[in-house]
Structures are given as C-alpha cells and as structure tokens.
Chains A and B, each alone.
Chain A
Amino acid sequence: MDNTKILIGIIAITVIAGILWAAQSSQQQNEVVIYVAHDQDYSEPILKEFERETGITTKILYDTELTKTVGLVNKLIAEKSNPRADVFWNNEVSRSIQLKNENVFQPYCSPSSIDIPAQYKDGNCYWTGFAARARVILYNTNLVSEEEEPNSFLEFADEKWKGKTCIANPLFGTTGTHVASLFALFGDEKAKQFFLDLKENEIQIVSSNSMVRDQVVAGECWVGITDTDDANDAIVDKKPVKIVFPDQGNEQIGTLVIPNSVALIKGAPNEKNGKILIDYLLSKEVEKKLSETKAIQIPTRDVETPKNVPKLSEIKGMSVNDYQIFEKLKISGEFVQNIFLR
C-alpha cells in the first residue's frame, strides 16, 4: 500500500469516528437543558442534586464573567427560531426582561413560587426571582476608620473620597443595572449630574465587580461599590475589609437588590422536565442552599440562613421596580459610556 492510500485511510477513519462520536453525544435522553448565568461553583452542586433526586439528566451551559452574563442572553436570542434550551437561570433580572421582550420566554407560574414576594416576580409568570444579591460598599479597614466609613453611595462624589473610590465598568452587569436604577429613581438630569460629579471626583473604573473587591483589598481603592457575593469572598478570606449596606437611613434611597431569575424557554424541547427543574430551583431548600455558599445569596422568603447572611426584610431596597430600571438601561448606558469610557 502506498502513502497516498494510507493517508486517505487515516482521514476517512478520523472522519467516520468523529461523526459516530458526535452522533452518539447528540442523542436525546430523559434530560433537561439549562443555560446558567449564575456562578458554576455554586449552581453545579444544586443541579447535580436535582439529577439525583429526579433521575433527569441536566445538560448545562454556563456563562462567564468575561461576557458579563450576556453571552447566554445573546445565544438565547439567536436561537429563538429553533430553541435548544429548556430553562434559563439568570443571575439578575433586567436581561430576563430583555428576553421576555424578545419573545424568548413562555409563562410558567411555578407552584413553588407562591410565597415569593410579588416584587421579585413577573406579573405574568414569564420569569420568577429568587435568591438575591445586593449592592454594597466595601472599604479597606487599614485605610478607612469605622468613624469615617461611608454609608451612602452618593458620598462617592464627596471631595474627601477624591481619587479613592472605584466602581466596575458601568455598562455591564449589576453595575449597569445600578446606574439605570439611579436614572429611574432620580430622573435623568439629576442622575447624569451625579455621575458627572463622580467623574469629577476621579472615581476609578475597573473591569469587574470582583476587580473592585481586589482593588479595595490591595488598597488601590479605599472604598468601592460591588455586590454582596464578591464582597463576601474578601470577608471569608479574612482580608482587611468591611461591608456596608448603603443608604439605609430613613431619608435615604436604599440599595439595589438583585435576585436571580428563572424562566421557561418558549418552544422548550423538554418542556415537562423544564417545569420540574424550575419548581425545584424555586424551592425554599434551594434558596437555603444558595445562602450557605460563599456567594451568600439572600433568600426572598423566610428561610433559616447562616448568621452572616442578612434577611431581605432587614435591607432597605430602592423604591424602583425592575421594569422601570429596564426602561432606563439604554439611556443610562449611553451616558456613562460617553463620560467614563473615552
């Protein structure tokens, strides 16, 4: 046999083996396909537990922080003519509203969600919120004393913090939602002035909320605004930092609370299993488990939690709803892009 035949033989065998492998791995079983924007380390054990309890295989696709949870959102929009996923577990709400508007979801009122407060659910059951995070101030205790600790995000515009504060890229993720919530709460003009003041006060823009935490830990920033899960990482690692829930006074605006949200995909290939999974995720047990992780997700219901996890009832939230925030995402995004990202 000459070299040519051997070469053709090898290529043919490779192609056939590849196709067989692919065909085998694409076979449908008793399964549910879930796209997960919540962190893999904390969501994976819960989904494995679901597999053990129900016997339904979960096929999971995770997002990463690099794409700021929107990799999956864009994928779901692009796939809507031929949906591949059954369930979307988002780690916030505004992109779920985007997907609802894009006609990606179908309504499903899960029996597990009855006792979840109405403010964390869509009125027509297109998505349901659970296990929340909140925006918090994190400060370096080596650089800032307890007397000086800032208790309002609005203080970031004060002269005394000039050049010492940091925030994640305000276009993306929960920071983007936070910016939009201030536009919804204050109105456009007042909100714009606040962000211009922040710029004037030399706030540092870093790549992500986890980077805000790292910069505060390193003392590059004295004070930063981030999410509870990122901040708690530094607390667990015993770094010299402290968390403050901002704007909790009677006259103050409260802080932004961001629940996870779960939704059933319109045209889901495994709709029945998708509903079973949603029922499972919205159970009190899952909220409890998520509160016990390092990411301390705060339950929306009265669930027994570790001591370091606050009750949602103890946190003063901002008086704007998710749909008001969503309406402001574009205008607030364009404004901060123009002033901060030059």
Chain B
Amino acid sequence: MSEKSLKFIVFSLFFIIIILPILNLFASIFSIQLLYDSSAITSLVNYISFFYDPRLITIFARTLVFAFGTAVLCMCIGVPMAFLFEGTNLPGKSFLKIISYLPLLIPPYISAIAWMEFLGARGDLVSISLPFSIYNLHTAIIIMSLSMFPIITLLTSLAIRNLDSKLEETANLVTSKKKVLSKITLPLIKPQILIAGFFVFILTLSEYGVPSMLRINTYSNEIFAQFSAFFNLESAVILSLPLVFLAMVLITIYNFWLKDKSFVTISTNSNKKNNLLELSKLQKIISLVFVISVITLAFFIPLSILLIESKLKLIEALILAHNQIFNSLGLALLGAGLMTISAFFVAYFSKNSKYMDLFILLPIAIPSSIIGISLIYFWNNPCANLIYTTFIIIIIGYLIQFLPFVIKTFSPFLNQISASAEESAKLARAGFLKRILKIELPLAKQGIIAGFVVGFVLCLRELGTTLLVSPPGIQTLPCRIETLMHYGNAEMVSSLSIILILMILIPVVMLLLTKKELLSKI
C-alpha cells in the first residue's frame, strides 16, 4: 500500500468516525433549524443571550480558576517529581516512580469521597475534625491536583528519557549540571510539559463529580443541567461552544509558540547515568519528603480509607461485579490499543499540516453527554446494527473523546525526530511501512508508551458517554461503582476500587520483577 493511499484511508476513517457524528449533531441543531424553521432564529438569539447572563459569567470564570489552578498545581508537583526521578540520583526512585503513577487508578470522585471521609465531612469511620469547611474551591483544586499530577509526571519523565543525552553531556563539559537542567533539559521538554498541563486543564474543565461533591457550581454542571434537567440539547450544545473555542485558542497559541522553535532531538542509547545530578544528603532528604508526602496524600491516604471502608470484602465484590470488571478492562485495553495505532498514523500524517489540529481538537472540550447523543443520532440506524448494538459503539465513544489526547501525547515526540532521518531512509529507497517500523516507531516509542497509558486510564474511568451508548447487557465498572455509591454501599464501592487498583498493579509488579530491565524503560 502506498503512503498516499494509506494517508487517504486514515484521514477518511478519522473524519467518518470522529468528526462526522459531531458535525451531524451541530448541523441538525443550527443550519437545518435555521433553514426550515423561522422561529429558530429567535431561539438561537435567546441562546446566545445566555452568554450575557452575569450568573453564567461568574460560573465560567470560577471554572477557569478551577481548571487553571489545578493545571498549575499539577505542574508544580509533577514536573519537579519527574526531574527527581529522571535527572537525579534520588534513592529508590524507580519504585517511587511506579507508585507515583498509581493515583491515576483512583477516579477523582472516589478520591474526593475518601477525603471527605477522612476529614470528617461525610462518614464516621475514620475522621479528623477540622475547624474550617472543606466545601470550597481550594479543596476542589487540591483534590483534583492530587488525582491528576501523575499525567504531568508521566509525560515529563518520558520526555526527559527521550532527550538526546549527548546534548546534556556536551553542556556538562562547560557548565554545572544544575544549569544544564534549567538551560538545556527544561526548555527542550517544554512542549511535553505544556501539553500535559493542557490535558489537565481540559479534563478538569469537564470534571463533574469532584466539584459537585464539594458544592462548587462549575460550567460543566450548567451544561449538564441544560441537558438533563431541562432536556434542552440545543442550549447544552451552545453552552459547550466556549469550551471548544477555548481549547482551540489554547492549542493555536501553543502551535504558534512552537513554530519558530526547534526541538529536534533523537534519543540515543548513550548512558544517561553520567548526566544525573548528584543530590546532597540534605537535598535527598528534602526530595524524599516531598515525593513521599505527595504520594501519601494522593494515594496511600485514599487507599487506606478505601481499605478500612471495604472491610476487605474483596471476594464478595469480585463475585458481584466480575462481568463489569472484565468488560472495563477489555474495553479499556482494546480502546487504548486502537487509539494508540490510530493516533500514531493521524499524528504522523498531520505532522506538517497547519489545519489538522483544529479537526483533531474539535471533540476535546465537548461534554461527554453531548458526544453520547451525537453517536446515537449518527449510528442508531438499521444499517449500523453491528456497530450500535455491540461494544463497538463504546470503543467509538472512547476514540472520539480521547484520541485527541493520545495524538497530542505523540506529537511532541514525533516532532523531536529529525526529518533528515526519514529523508535519508527515503534516499535509501526504504518503503513507507519499513520507514515507519524501523525509524518512526522505535524513535517515538516513549511517546507510544505514554499514549497507551494515557488512553488506557482515560478509557478505564469513562462514564458519561458509555452510559448513553452502552448496548443493553454491557455495563462497565464506573457505572456499577456509581450505582453502588448512591445506595451507600461503601464496602462494595471501596472493595471494587481496590480490586481495580490490584488488577492493574499485580501484573505490572510481576512483569517488573521478572524483567527488571523494563523498570528503567517506564
């Protein structure tokens, strides 16, 4: 297959699966109404007047503070942690690094519940009494950050690993390692750090569970209310437009900033150990206190609360929800796998395209419920039974929502590969697939790992779209946990959350124990 025809197939599939259902919904709401219904213009004007509502403006501003605050705090935690893991001789860093990714396995709303239990706001099992209320924006930002910072740590760590260590080695000859870190390493991995921050910002923007539990009214609650309290799909879609616009503006600024800069650095196998910053004893202690405190707050405290709450009824929980556990794991693995393959090709073919980003990012800020409805309108017809009545529709839901995240995880890694490497291969008459397999894939493998992990975690947590498009008989774990939570079944909720963590953790630990060399690659 030639490069051109593969590019055509990739873009066609991308357009049909990802873009068309959303455009179809938007078109049915705007253009068709305007064409055939004269009163629609009046109603459209009414919707637009939403944006002059001071209440809505306040909520929007608060949501921006929530999302921006979370992104900044995550970067403040995640970036130094990644540097400690990748650029220093911190003792036990390989183990700590693995542990620091674990908070990703606890959905933010479960983490919020655990904290509410701990701080005495909800349960009477484990609690400490506080002299102040925890129901405020600051708590929401802290809880979200403790749940999200591993995204930053992961992407920053992989970016540091992917750097050509020769650059650092050369700089080390003329200046101190600290200066190399701040003047060479940090500027070179800025694209990955900023993209990771952007992910956290967007995911926080659309978070519903944590703010509603902490009694913070956010913009996503407003969209949700239009959709589910007033059944007003049109205004829900219109209200989501500023979020889409915001995502586009941010990514355009990012691309503009990236344009004149060169990040061409090919990872080689030269020994990174020579470049490690030697920490003094005091620095080691301070660093360890920092890392261990964050991991304790983000993982061990919520986990301990879950363990106490669960009363270790793990077997009972496994019997109760084994179908949902396997559905979730299977769908998340399949979703992440497909997403990684498709993201690679989309990212590869759109490497030099100016406008592709706008399409890639179109779905990123659209609320999951609206994506769910657009999928129903598009795929619910007799010709598409095979898709709509089976798990395939759930996978498509994952692809629409999370493909932009995985593509954007890849892009900085792909951009780091020098064009000359591929051109040389072309001169040597290497075929397209050979070039992909022998050059791009090996050089972008850190990006591929990162993309898969990001995709897997996002799929595993997904609730909003799955709930709307799931065919009867297929239920995922988040849906089950949420239902159990409603009925105050804290034991089962906690047990299932622990099972979910163990199901990921046990294979990973076993794999790492049997093949220790893998530890250094993660």
Contacts and interface: CB of A to CB of B under 8 A. Distances in A.
Contacts of A338: 55
- Chain B interface extent, by class: 35 or more
Contacts of B471: 59, 61, 84
Contacts, number: 166
B488 A74 contact: no
Consensus secondary structure, chain A interface: helix
Contact of A79 (B208, B215, B380, B386): B380
A65 B124 contact: no
A75 interface: yes
Contact of B468 (A60, A74, A229, A234): A74
Interface stretch (A32-40, A114-122, A188-196, A271-279): A32-40
Contacts of B434: 4
A153 to B, nearest CB: 21
B120 A218 contact: yes
A27 to B, nearest CB: 10
Nearest to B124: A218
Nearest to B121: A220
Q: In this complex, which of B217, B225, B229, B475 has the most chain A Cβ atoms within 10 angstroms of its Cβ?
A: B229
Interface stretch (A48-56, A208-216, A247-255, A304-312): A208-216
B507 interface: no
Interface stretch (B8-16, B351-359, B388-396): B388-396
Contacts of B388: 84
A59 B473 contact: yes
Interface stretch (B305-313, B479-487, B509-517): B479-487
Contacts of B377: 78
B27 interface: no
A174 to B, nearest CB: 13
A84 B437 CA distance: 44
Contact of A172 (B59, B228, B372, B486): B228
B373 A74 contact: yes
A217 B433 CA distance: 63
Contact of A169 (B212, B230, B233, B381): B212
Contacts of A214: 122-123, 488
A60 B472 contact: yes
A63 interface: yes
A21 to B, nearest CB: 8
Contact of A39 (B381, B467, B472, B486): B486
B290 interface: no
Interface in B155-188: none
Contact of A84 (B389, B479, B487): B389
A33 B386 contact: no
A87 B368 CA distance: 25
A258 interface: no
A244 interface: no
Given A40-B483, A208-B486, A342-B55, A26 B376 contact: no
Interface string B219-243: 0011001011111010000000000
A333 to B, nearest CB: 5
B225 A66 contact: no
A289 B272 CA distance: 67
Interface of B: 55, 58-59, 120-124, 208-209, 212-213, 215, 217, 221-222, 225, 227-231, 233, 334, 341, 369, 372-373, 376-377, 380-382, 385-392, 433-434, 437, 463, 467-468, 470-473, 475, 479-480, 482-489
10 contacts: A23-B386, A25-B390, A40-B480, A66-B209, A66-B463, A68-B229, A74-B228, A75-B376, A78-B380, A234-B488
